[in-house]
Structure 1
Amino acid sequence: MSDQKKSGTSKDTHYAKLRRAHREKGGGEGQAAPRRPRPADGPLPADGLVRLYGLHTVRAALDNPARRIRRLLVTRNAMARLDLAEPLALAFPGEIVEPRDIDRIVGGDAVHQGVLLEAEPLKPKRLSAMDDTRLVLVLDQVTDPHNVGAIMRSAVAFGAGALITTARHSPAETGVLAKSASGALEHIDHVEVRNLSDALEELHEAGFQTIGLDSEGPEELERTFSAARVALVLGSEGKGLRQKTRQTVTALARLDMPGPIRSLNVSNAAAVALYTAGRHLSRQS
């Protein structure tokens, strides 16, 4: 038997002993038995709910009327920091817990700050239903939830009206993504499309100049803007923009990098590009 299998068997035995001890102490069905910690990210659980954690993330979700909340777990300390009344006074089930109770659900590495919200995922919008906006971000298969969350945060900070992603090869709404977004998930329209090239053409018809960010772009971003509506298109962490995307956007542009490093992490590049686009659009007003 391999070391990996031995390790798994040891863990299984450990948690089986905890559950058996729980039953012997009189723990009934209404009391939670010790559970194996699970990672905070990954596909949605079988119940289809998303686990949101962290003070900023949960506060924004609580304030979002579109968010359908199922349950709140909160420590006394976090309840005071969120300025919440007793959980029983809320419009959904709530429970005061210890930090370790949340650790069991999201894993010990998650920085939950004493609060966990179980809620239904927000429903992505269709491109045709996108609110009127002059600035949007388009992600071409950016898959890291930390990056997508950070991009959402920058998009909200710089006034982008929507984030457009593909239905495939994009991270699902998870606690990790929401924590990285630090509440921004609740403040920006998320548009999900099946075919990115078709979506870019639809943006063209709506008057958007679509600009793909490429470290080898022929022109600096500042010199590329030519319209009153802008869609910034960013590629995946490793491969960048796909060839079909490069052929479909209005223009390819680069960020000016005077230093020896010629490229940025996609979330950092998004922040710089958003700031630059915002300055251009402010001059168009």
Structure 2
Amino acid sequence: MSNQYPKASGNRQAGGGARPSGQGERKGGWNSAGGGRKEKDKRYAAAPANKESTQDNEQWVEESALKGDDEYLAGKHPVLEAMKAGRSINKIFMSNQAQRHLIQPIMEEAKARGIVVQQVDKSKLDRLVPDMQHQGVVAQAAAVAYAEVDELLARAKERGEAPLIVLLDEVEDPHNLGSVLRTADCTGVHGVIVPKRRSAGLTAVVAKTSAGAVEYVPVARVANLVQTMEKLKEAGLWIAGADVGASEGFYETNLTGPLAIVIGNEGQGLSRLVKERCDFILSLPMAGQINSLNASVAAGVILYEVVRQRAEAQKKRGVTPSSPASDHA
């Protein structure tokens, strides 16, 4: 593998066309003004029309009052990981038909943390999280707060690692975002950045798809992705975009330094301005008739190549590679 980084694209030059290996090549710090303000997703229930009975109406009032600024987590893994991560949980609703040996870990964790567990009919869980596979477990939890971009960089510094951040360019499918978060957790990514507009947010579907990884991978939400890329460059990171037809070989590119990887949306890939601001473009080899990969799959392939290259670099320096998953094992 070559030690040389590819030429920078757009208006930016990288040392006469060759990018040196190692960490901290860029100078400067992060200025978080204008992006990454902490927010919460809020859900509001609308009163159903033509109530057939007073009992139904009282039931609706009770369930609507639960929503407020909180959200519902559905499924065994998301609920269990939320508790382990210390997320504020008001109450857990458990199906009275759930098999005890499957829900025992949740019961034990809830008891240890003093969280109320209420046995309810499965139909109530269906109403709380319609169109979701809740596996007989639903939790009323505080909404996930978005992180600041400088918090993502601080995580890398605290671990003594070269920053590794994923940026999603208008990825609107919550299942894709959840899958990216799951892979990001497994590969030691320090955080994910999404734009405020035309992007999936941190919803219950994302939490379910991520299998609880949303509790461990901070997500920053920014007003302008292009401006954020420029600020990441000022903080010392190099920006690699994933796109079809790039001239740079994927496996021949040095990915061991401070890096931010940009993944495009499900249909159009990288937008023009985002692509122009990338220092270089990575192209995954395609041998079949379909010339593109799902966004979360592309992210997984690239991130594990980063893991492989960084592990090899550590071995050469005589350092024992660490496991990304060990941080919250």
The TM-score, its normalising length taken from structure 2, stands at: 0.70
Q: Alignment length, in residue pairs?
A: 256
2:69 corresponds to:
48
Unmatched 5+ residue regions in structure 1?
Answer: 1-10, 39-44
SS in 2 for 1:252: strand
Greater mean alpha carbon deviation, residues 76-85 or residues 45-54:
76-85
Determine whether 1:256 maps to 2:277: no
- Answer yes or no: is the 8 Å Cα contact 2:190–2:218 preserved in 1: yes
Deviations 1:9-66 (A, max 9, x none): xx955xx33x35x37xxx9x5xx35999x9xxxxxx961212111111111001112x
1:70 corresponds to:
90
1:58 to 54, 79, 96: 79
**1:186, distance to aligned residue in structure 2 (A):** 0.7
Determine whether 1:247 maps to 2:276: yes
Shift in CA distance, 209/227, structure 1 to aligned 2, threshold 3 Å:
farther
**Alpha-carbon distance in structure 2 between the residues aligned to 1:194 and 1:245:** 14
Equivalent AA in structure 2 for residue 72 of structure 1:
I
Shift in CA distance, 88/208, structure 1 to aligned 2, threshold 3 Å:
closer
Give the aligned CA root-mean-square deviation in angstroms: 2.7
- Answer yes or no: is the 8 Å Cα contact 1:73–1:115 preserved in 2: yes
1:3 corresponds to:
none
Deviations 1:195-217 (A, max 9, x none): 21121122222322211000122
2:22 corresponds to:
none
- Answer yes or no: is the 8 Å Cα contact 1:164–1:193 preserved in 2: yes
2:307 corresponds to:
278
**1:119, distance to aligned residue in structure 2 (A):** 1.2
Unmatched 5+ residue regions in structure 2?
Answer: 1-47, 315-329
Shift in CA distance, 227/154, structure 1 to aligned 2, threshold 3 Å:
closer
- Answer yes or no: is the 8 Å Cα contact 2:83–2:110 preserved in 1: no
**1:102, distance to aligned residue in structure 2 (A):** 0.2
Q: How does 1:46-195 map to 2 (within 5 A)?
A: 47-65=68-86, 67-76=87-96, 77=98, 80-82=101-103, 83=105, 84-85=107-108, 91-107=114-130, 109-130=131-152, 131-132=155-156, 133=161, 134-195=163-224
2:45 corresponds to:
none
**1:248, distance to aligned residue in structure 2 (A):** 0.9
Between 1 and 2, higher relative CO (CA 8 Å, sep ≥ 6) is seen in 2
2:267 corresponds to:
238
